[in-house]
Structure 1
């Protein structure tokens, strides 16, 4: 409907322009600056209407109307239906149609149209001045613009070149805008894929790490301590169920056109950190959790904080457990600070420089998304430290 409205509006504008140009061309033939045409005076208006008609229909068949406009102007000039000194007015419709052709066609093709129009106009003007002008009756009064074919040809060439150039620039700008829009759309899709991959990595990585630890415990103590094995299996059951629910929430976002925060399952936040710490404790990590600050973080910031803590605890479970770990979260009105520090494995192992996967990369991306900072590395006294600073404005956007 919008496209049809645009076409209708453009057609009305073109029709109005065609009428104005026809009046201008007719007046130029009736009252020319040079010798008048030998045709009857009333013929000026049909000739003007004929050469101006292609403007009104140029949007439907640009190339066809370009040929009609150029041919009509050339025939009118050669036949002497125009007036000396105002031949260029007859080619104004050709200029306007040429602009549309250049703005909707590749530059190489439209350049061929420009060359054909210029060649036809130059030939018509030369024929007019060589064969038609000498037989015209002299002007009744002194001409304000003496007939001079180089001027006529120069004006026509300048107008046609300008019309083509403006159309080519318009097409270039449209193509550039289209490419930019396509690039932005691809970037948005890539960002969304990375966000979903990061979410899935955090959820699955943490849960599978915890499940692997508890499954190992259950396998070793199943015969001698069945109660402890059943407790480990209960943790595995609870973790797998919560993980499945969160995976369904993330995958549900792929089927939804709405905002991620509109999902039915609540987005994890600071209130879920104690449960996260309990899961780590069940895997043998002595977690000391402290959340300071009374500020209510925006949901997106709270989710990033939760995921950073989740991934950091997953790394502790995988690389250092069992051990002691402290988690500090400071929630401010303008920023959030996360620090996760562990004492390292109780058995003697070389210091770890990272998890070698996407865990640290994902945490760094979450911090950088808000223009914040991220640091992770082994401590001189042993263990590993992860810290992140996420600045934001009151509505949750990067500061």
Structure 2
């Protein structure tokens, strides 16, 4: 299975690999890990359920590579309070009922302390509700309705879709483009996109140029929506789709649509897979760029990926890495031999935690840890420009 959503970025030399490995060890020291490895034997097990074989396998696999790289670096530096971290992965095939079953299996295993980065709106809803006594950290969805539910076990490490779409609409308006359209799926994910889009357009005091739908998050029946967008010819079309974004963009171009395309963050994996055809496509970023070195968290991510033997940087990988870093900070604060309840309490106490380019604050009534949103554009060489 391919575990990246972008072309690999080659490392220059063995010397650079050595330098990055040194940086990886320094990253662990920065978040409070001991410099020397401690005797092995204790294990902290973390469950993770995501689509590893279906339409969202690029996002799921990418997150897993990123979180694995983070934990491998932590383990190499001595672990957390002398314990190593082990990721237990289950494939839910992007099926909500299977995601729930996987979560319940994790709950039934007393050795598994928390669940990391489940993927998908309905999947996350099922997982969070199924295991109220376990921390669910870094869910991969920005659906606002889920954040409004009373789910004290769920700790969000990404901005929500309203914030993403509002940022994209403001970017379009800043360059005088107010004929803006939207394509979204006709399901809970899509309804969240639609609500955010309408709110952003109302704030701008302009009417949407066109709104089109596809049948569902996984449906490849995208031609009717593409033809509707092409006929309306908006200046900007916001693609509120996930793994089917590339299919929609291809259908839009085939229908004669020449609108500038902005995607939401979950469309990135599909868009990167288009290769040269993605040139000029922009989308919301909910993490600092993993390809640049401006942010400290990106430098650590690259170092830990190198130490794990991978140079396939990706946005999904960075999201998984950041979610794992936040979970690791919660484990550190919870102390040795922490229970599930102690871990949730420790995560709740995280305040103004700076990962180097993105900050997190939780609290008793605060589970959305960050509101970071940036915009990137794919350049002519397939690289992300920010």
Normalising by the residue count of structure 2, what TM-score does the alignment of the two structures yield? 0.21
Higher helix share: 1
Structure number with higher relative contact order (C-alpha < 8 Å, ≥ 6 residues apart): 2
TM-score by length of 1: 0.21
Q: Which has the larger radius of gyration?
A: 1
Question: If each structure's strand is expressed as a fraction of its own residues, which one has the higher value?
Answer: 2
